[in-house]
Amino acid sequence: METVEETKARLAAGHPSGKGQATPSRKQQEALNKRPLVPDDRKLAAKQARGKAAEARDRARVGMAAGDDRFLPQRERGPQKRFVRDYVDARFNIGEFMIPVMFLVILLTFFPDPMVQTYGILALWAFFLVAVVDCVILGFTLTRKVKAKFGEPKAERVRWYAAMRALQLRPMRLPKPQVKRGQYPA
């Protein structure tokens, strides 16, 4: 909004008042607002749509890897799930090494000696039992810690979520680990 002095100066300088052009007719205004329902160049429009979709997917992938709640699936959202993720990521989990141990046992089955194959399978079962016990202990510990931090009525069931995360190789987890080993959440 201009001041009184600015208005007087503008009028004294001889600037024409008004907008300087005629008001467009309704027909002209509607013609300006018309857009085709289907674009003229369908290939270009499809290419642009694919580009936008790829950009949105990349944003979502980066956001999910970073642990941004907007891009996480519903089951991964919330402060309790973040606490569980951080606790599992800070801890040394035996189950992380399940896939490499299984791969090793598969390699041992190629040996012609049946004793090597038998010991490999027994070692796999023993490792599996130790990993299950580790996940059960993790579940009890996390349930207690979540109840202490967030309160009894707010505590969700997090055992299965924690166990599934603990059984994944650390580099393969999504969202990516946000804490280093030993850096437990407060």
Separation CA 27–CA 29 (nearest Å) = 6
Q: What is the pLDDT tens value at each position of the chain, 186 positions in all?
A: 788 888 888 777 765 566 778 898 999 999 888 877 777 888 988 999 999 999 999 999 999 888 888 888 888 888 999 999 999 999 999 999 999 999 999 999 898 999 999 999 999 999 999 999 999 999 999 999 999 998 876 666 789 999 999 999 999 998 999 999 999 998
Q: What is the pLDDT of residue 166?
A: 95
Q: What is the pLDDT of residue 14?
A: 64
Q: What is the pLDDT of residue 186?
A: 81
Token pair belonging to 39: 């674009």
Q: What is the pLDDT of residue 19?
A: 76
Which region, left, alpha or beta, applies to residue 180 given φ > 0 means left and ψ of -120 to 50 means alpha?
beta
Domain chopping of the chain, boundaries: 43-72, 79-167
Q: For 38-107, give the DSSP string.
A: S-S-HHHHHHHHHHHHHHHHHHHHHHHHHT-TTTS-GGG-SHHHHHHHHHHHHS--GGGGHHHHHHHHHH
Q: What is the pLDDT of residue 142?
A: 93
Q: What is the pLDDT of residue 154?
A: 62
